[in-house]
Structure 1
């Protein structure tokens, strides 16, 4: 067993993951020697993969598709934000060997939005989609004190159920795409439509002056949603900064230090180009 602390990202598939590059960048920046692997776990045996990792001396891991719910079941303890999200993207081994599950997606999004000086407090925020990624970010978004947060989804029931789940935290409501009303200061696309090159059915008048359009997906070229938003003359940003931000939060949980996300984000962006 090596003295170098061992971390990893688990997923299936996993070869595409940027996490090893991100965490290597953090380690170099902070002068902290760690080993970080990408691990392909069997779809039907995530727990076995995790146990093998821990037996090698693994101290913590990021968890991506399709294992976030399985990671929540595996954990002996869940943070408040992991319970709120209903999913775990960060695991760590505690001092007594217990497995602790956390979710850093919302923190990663907020870190990036604050870097961008996005409108948050007293803003009208629209979130497109009602999947697991949305559930993980609604709590942190509501904690910034928007005047209203609207969750819009193709399946209305999913949007309204999510809104009801977070109703105690602030002004939030769910609706279908066709029921979106008014204009917004921040519009976040969290639908999978970007992956398919599709655009949710959105009203032509959607943005306030000075609004920000944010897509959780990222790529070498703007997503269809961001291309549409650009035609409406608003500032447009993809989700690469969220990816780096959630990784930085995981690093902090494991190592107790906070990396500067900017140089790592710039290096990733250059690679994408």
Structure 2
């Protein structure tokens, strides 16, 4: 009798991860007899974990903080998308036992924008007709989101970060379409933005909020926040006051999980209102 497929999420710490809740829901919804587990591995043990997880019966898994960059360096094969982003969040094994690394944050973000704004959103927000997408922050999430927007065909992406050097590093993804801008000059750039995305931790939990005047944004612009705890950040609340489309960060978490589940368990799941409600209840229950 073949062993049940098992997958994992690995990080340090890992107790906070909602990936088991997401994948457990899909396993039950599709009647699949698989398993998905949390595994806490400290950085010094991560390389050994990668070399041994197949022998432990796992077919693949997710990688979260602080291991995404280490996974990028240690896998046997990188997808072009993971290579551009410089980090891996999804692992799988091929028929020869080679370890493949992908990054599904980019398509996860775009899928969430499609679900929230409609598939015509680059046109409806103006970003396909001359307006820019403005990205706040220049960390790993920003890099994945910029890659997603580039792949979607946006012609102008402006990255603002308190540290200009980090923002400039994202320009290397596509020097013709990506530019870095000074944080202090944001009001001028917001006036030409069809999409504003916050990828910083500002607004998360009990930390400091993102203080930003949204009045320069054109009517019809959309505002997205990568933060999903809380779901309604001060930035999104301010966007709604202005009558702008507001896109929370939870959908990116849900949609980025789809490709991995499909690889490991052979079924492509859907992000449904039931799944979202389940994760929202968990978020509220931990507050």
Please give the TM-score of this superposition, normalised by the length of structure 1: 0.91
Report the more deviating stretch, 96-105 or 252-261. 252-261
Match of 1:185 in 2: 194
Report the more deviating stretch, 199-208 or 157-166. 199-208
State how far apart, in whole Å, the 2-side matches of 1:243 and 1:228 are.
23
With over 3 angstroms needed to count, the CA separation of the structure-2 counterparts of 1:203 and 1:157, relative to structure 1, is farther
Deviation of 1:265 after TM superposition, in Å, equals 1.8
State how far apart, in whole Å, the 2-side matches of 1:200 and 1:218 are.
14
Deviation of 1:235 after TM superposition, in Å, equals 2.5
Whether the 8 Å contact between 1:75 and 1:101 is mirrored in structure 2 is yes
State how far apart, in whole Å, the 1-side matches of 2:207 and 2:223 are.
17
Report the more deviating stretch, 44-53 or 89-98. 44-53
Match of 1:32 in 2: 32
Deviation of 1:253 after TM superposition, in Å, equals 3.0
**SS in structure 1 at match of 2:101:** strand
Deviation of 1:27 after TM superposition, in Å, equals 1.3
What's the Cα RMSD here? 2.0
Deviation of 1:56 after TM superposition, in Å, equals 1.1
Query: Are 1:174 and 2:180 matched, yes or no?
Result: yes
State how far apart, in whole Å, the 2-side matches of 1:129 and 1:224 are.
17
Query: Are 1:127 and 2:132 matched, yes or no?
Result: no
Match of 1:21 in 2: 21
Deviation of 1:219 after TM superposition, in Å, equals 2.0
Match of 1:219 in 2: 229
Q: How does 1:62-81 map to 2 (within 5 A)?
A: 62-81=62-81
State how far apart, in whole Å, the 1-side matches of 2:139 and 2:6 are.
31
With over 3 angstroms needed to count, the CA separation of the structure-2 counterparts of 1:79 and 1:226, relative to structure 1, is same
Report the more deviating stretch, 2-11 or 221-230. 221-230
Match of 2:145 in 1: 137
Structure 1 unaligned runs (5+)? none
State how far apart, in whole Å, the 2-side matches of 1:48 and 1:22 are.
27
Deviations 1:43-98 (A, max 9, x none): 22112223343221111010000000111112000000000000000111111111
Whether the 8 Å contact between 2:5 and 2:59 is mirrored in structure 1 is yes
Deviation of 1:147 after TM superposition, in Å, equals 4.2
Please give the TM-score of this superposition, normalised by the length of structure 2: 0.87
Whether the 8 Å contact between 1:199 and 1:224 is mirrored in structure 2 is yes
With over 3 angstroms needed to count, the CA separation of the structure-2 counterparts of 1:199 and 1:174, relative to structure 1, is farther
Whether the 8 Å contact between 2:34 and 2:265 is mirrored in structure 1 is no
Match of 1:12 in 2: 12
Whether the 8 Å contact between 2:214 and 2:238 is mirrored in structure 1 is no
Q: How does 1:93-108 map to 2 (within 5 A)?
A: 93-108=93-108
Query: Are 1:272 and 2:283 matched, yes or no?
Result: yes
With over 3 angstroms needed to count, the CA separation of the structure-2 counterparts of 1:220 and 1:140, relative to structure 1, is closer
Deviation of 1:2 after TM superposition, in Å, equals 7.2
Whether the 8 Å contact between 1:106 and 1:139 is mirrored in structure 2 is yes
